[in-house]
Amino acid sequence: MTELLLRNACVIDPLNRVNGDVMDIAIRDGWIVESVGNGAEVIDARGFLTLPGGIDSHTHICGTKVNFGRYMMPEDMRAGRTIRKGVMHATSGYSVPTTYGNSYRYSAMGYTSILEGAMAPLEARHTHEEFSATPLQDTMANTLFDGNWPVMEAVKEKDVKRAAAIVAWTLAAVKGFAVKLTNPGGTEAWGWGKNVTCIRDPVPHFEVTPAEIIETLIRANELLRLPHSVHLHCNNLGAPGNYQCTIGTFDLVPDLNKERQSLYATHVQFHAYGGTSWKDINSKAEPVAYSVNRKPQIVIDMGQMMFGKTTTMTADGPMEWNLYRLHHNKWSNHDVELETTSGIIPVYYSKKSLVNCVMWAIGLELALLVKDPWQCLLATDNPNGAPFVRYPEIIGLLMSKRYRDEEFRTIHPDTGKRVILDTLDRELGWHDIAVMTRAGQAKALGIAKIGKGHLGVGAEADIAVYPIRIRDTDPSRDYAAVVSAFQRTAWTIKRGRVVCRDGDVVVEGTNRTIWANSRVPEAFDMGRDPEFVKKFDRYYTVRMANYPVQDAYIPRSGCIESEAVL
């Protein structure tokens, strides 16, 4: 038995309605308890800001496309290099670090759980192998269904229950966490050299539309009672005028769940563009935020873009092709049989580019215009908008109008004609940031029930202590101190152990992979369905028996079970 007592912690714990109370936190064997014995190890938090461990609800840190991004950019791997130090492995990379580099940097910032944004089922083993080398965070993987042939056939037949059964079998087979749709229908069209532009375009050869895919899988997801909602990358990402498609997509979403949203829309900054071309692109964050404010069944994340060099990677293959035609930089695309696509291209976001400056403003506008912080979470679509190490700067920008104004004066002079950021006076508070970086994610992902995202008795002891006293700090004026504090914790505690102190990892870690298993009636077991098995054997290049991920790939399994209603 191990015990730890964290004394004098200034706690913000939104899920338990704690807002700045100074208290002690007792920990036994990795869980928060009411009290510990006199022999417990004691850490004096000295009144520092203490939050639940950070949760990144949309990032790209593991898997085949991430690994390809690493060796596609050797110049990036020369950045961010660190030597072996104590228990820490040598690391490299800035926009796409090595797995240990990702893990150490997240831990230094107080993050203890991360969701890989897009995993192709056929390539799941590679993702899980990299999860095992990301030791200081519990991991989850969105599983791609946007171009899944059996799903689209079920959509065509208007058979929601069969679609649900296919999802359940696939998630269990690949140890996936949630349903991910990336440019639904468009990824399959890319296999034929085409794309879809919005939700009513037909998908070649399947006679379905993106709207039908989205609506069917939202309902299928709820039949399976999965912890997380459908996680959607909308159609027409990054195109001027795409805000209309985004709002039209939001209008499809029914309110089906009393505990969480029915749809999580990711990196919405990239989907909130007005104009008809790059020449007249402008912000449409206002109507997009208005749509979100009217729909409690929708949660979004910012997809904030920050200036500098990074690598873009996504399952949206046709979008990456369009990006390549704009930048003429290195480019890679990949088609995953029967399932999805991917694409990679390095980019540089410049303050001299009016388009990039509009993008930067839109992400911040969304976070300031969405009234409820539980509905707009902080993320950069790492590394697409920016590497996750830029999160502290984004927090500073959201908490300080002065900081935003100073940055605004450094960007393209015509930006003010196309955005409204400089007119927004709202400054987010400490509680808002706690929601947008951990409590909101835990609720949206459905993992608060397993002890994530809060510090109540019975919670998993994932804790971040930041070296700042909120009663002595005015974030509007002292934004530099805010940014500095969120860059490096005084202590990061993972499962009851101090794993990082003052930015240095101090112990070897072992993570847990969280996945979802929805139990379906025998009649809906697709592993025994003759038609499903026949088509699998006919079209896939692997045997069905070799498709599932073996338990050996997940040494620490955290399965969330549910009972399907089919």
Query: Using H for helix, E for strand and C for coil, what is the string for 269-303?
Result: HHHCEECCCCCCCEECHHHHHHHHHCCCCEEEECC
- DSSP code, position 374: G
Query: Can you tell me whether residue 427 is helix, strand or coil?
Result: coil
- Cis bond before residue 383 (omega within 30° of 0): yes
Q: How far apart are CA 373 and CA 196, in angstroms?
A: 32
Give pLDDT, residue 551.
Answer: 94
pLDDT in tens, 4-19: 999 999 999 999 999 9
The domain containing residue 247 runs over which residues?
52-305+353-383+391-449
What's the total number of domains in the chain? Answer: 1
182 domain residue, yes or no: yes
Give pLDDT, residue 448.
Answer: 97
User: How much is the CA Rg of the chain, to the nearest whole Å?
Assistant: 22
Alpha helix positions (H), 79-198: 99-108, 124-131, 149-156, 160-174, 186-190
Q: How far apart are CA 64 and CA 333, in angstroms?
A: 12
312-343 burial string, b = 16+ CB within 10 Å, else e?
bbbbbbbbbbbbbeeeeeebbebbbebbbbbb
458 domain residue, yes or no: no
30 domain residue, yes or no: no
Give yes or no for residue 495 having a pLDDT over 90. yes
378 domain residue, yes or no: yes
Give pLDDT, residue 326.
Answer: 84
Give pLDDT, residue 328.
Answer: 85
Which range among 163-177, 210-224, 497-511 shows the weakest confidence by mean pLDDT?
497-511
118 domain residue, yes or no: yes
- DSSP code, position 465: E
E-assigned strand segments in 384-528: 463-466, 491-494, 497-501, 504-505, 513-519
Give yes or no for residue 79 having a pLDDT over 90. no
Q: How far apart are CA 51 and CA 391, in angstroms?
A: 15
Whether the CA torsion 94, 96, 101, 106 is positive or negative: it is: positive
What is the token pair recorded at 432? 């808002």
pLDDT in tens, 82-95: 889 888 899 999 99
330 domain residue, yes or no: no
Give pLDDT, residue 282.
Answer: 98
Backbone angles phi, psi at 162, to 5 degrees: -65, -40
CATH, residue 200? 3.20.20.140
In the chain, the percentage of residues whose pLDDT exceeds 70 is 100
Give pLDDT, residue 473.
Answer: 98
Q: How many helices (H) and strands (E) does the chain have?
A: 18, 24
The 10 Å Cβ neighbour count of residue 510 is 12
Name the pTM for this structure: 0.97
- What does the angle CA 530 – CA 535 – CA 538 come to, to the nearest 5 degrees? 125
443 domain residue, yes or no: yes
514 domain residue, yes or no: no
